[in-house]
Amino acid sequence: MTNRIATLIHKSAILTARLALLSSLVTAAPLFAGDNASDHSGHDHAPAKLVQEVREATRQYLDVNAATAAGYGPFLGCVTGPDHGAMGVHYVNGALLDGELDASHPQALIYEPLEGGRMRLVGVEFIIDQATWLANHSNTPPTLEGQVLQFVDAPNRFNIPAFFELHVWAWRDNPQGAFVDWNNHVTCEQ
């Protein structure tokens, strides 16, 4: 009986951590999708391999309705930068907050709101619970195609346990770089 109680407590703690992570994303959310011209490449060089992989994996979500049908849902409103740029509206898939990291299955899709209530897919965010990841990967920080995920310690502005995250601007060029959190080409003005 004691083992069963311990298992239930452990499962409850994991669920609580996942829900806390989801609710924090609501606080840090971006926008909608609609028209998606290939405005990702404003430079003459080829995009990083991870950007290409994310584009291929998320092409099916250019229409925000396809994202919601696949289990992604919006959290909060459009996230703007503290002094410049924005992220947009994050559409998070709670089933993917399982401690796994796969370039073809981002935990969040990021949309920019457009006129008329349309949404444009601009990027994704990979989100991994720090304790779960480190416990399952010999205390090695997560990387994805050579990109090290950023560590966000607790306490944090989201009031959730520590986590790792990585933004990938696969559908909108970012003058600061494809993996920087804030994008000056994304706006929450609509």
For the stretch 124-173, pLDDT in tens is 999 999 999 999 999 999 999 999 999 999 998 677 789 999 999 999 99
Residue 32 has phi, psi (to 5 degrees) of -95, 170
Tell me what the mean pLDDT of segment 10-18 comes to: 43
Q: Is residue 20 part of a domain?
A: yes
Q: Is residue 33 part of a domain?
A: yes
Instruction: State what percent of residues in the chain have pLDDT above 90.
Output: 63
- Whether the predicted pLDDT of 6 surpasses 90: no
- Contact at 8 Å (CB) between 122 and 169? yes
- E strands in 40-118: 73-80, 86-92, 108-113
- Whether the predicted pLDDT of 21 surpasses 80: no
- Contact at 8 Å (CB) between 120 and 35? yes
How many Å separate Cα 169 from the centre of its chain? 10
Q: How many CB atoms lie within 10 A of CB 144?
A: 20
- Contact at 8 Å (CB) between 186 and 30? yes
- At residue 54, the 3 state secondary structure works out as helix
Q: Which of 7-21, 51-65, 170-184 has the lowest mean pLDDT?
A: 7-21
Q: How far apart are the first and last CA of the chain?
A: 56
Q: How many domains does the chain have?
A: 1
- Whether the predicted pLDDT of 24 surpasses 90: no
Q: Is residue 190 part of a domain?
A: no
Q: Is residue 182 part of a domain?
A: no
Q: Is residue 180 part of a domain?
A: no
How many Å separate Cα 48 from the centre of its chain? 18
Question: Residue 130 sits in which domain range?
Answer: 2-168
- At residue 190, the 3 state secondary structure works out as coil
Q: What's the pLDDT at 190?
A: 79
Instruction: Name which of 19, 12, 6, 10 is nearest 129 in CA terms.
Output: 19
Instruction: Name which of 81, 60, 57, 18 is nearest 145 in CA terms.
Output: 57
Q: Is residue 7 part of a domain?
A: yes
Q: Is residue 151 part of a domain?
A: yes
Q: Which of 4-13, 81-90, 159-168 has the lowest mean pLDDT?
A: 4-13
Q: Is residue 133 part of a domain?
A: yes
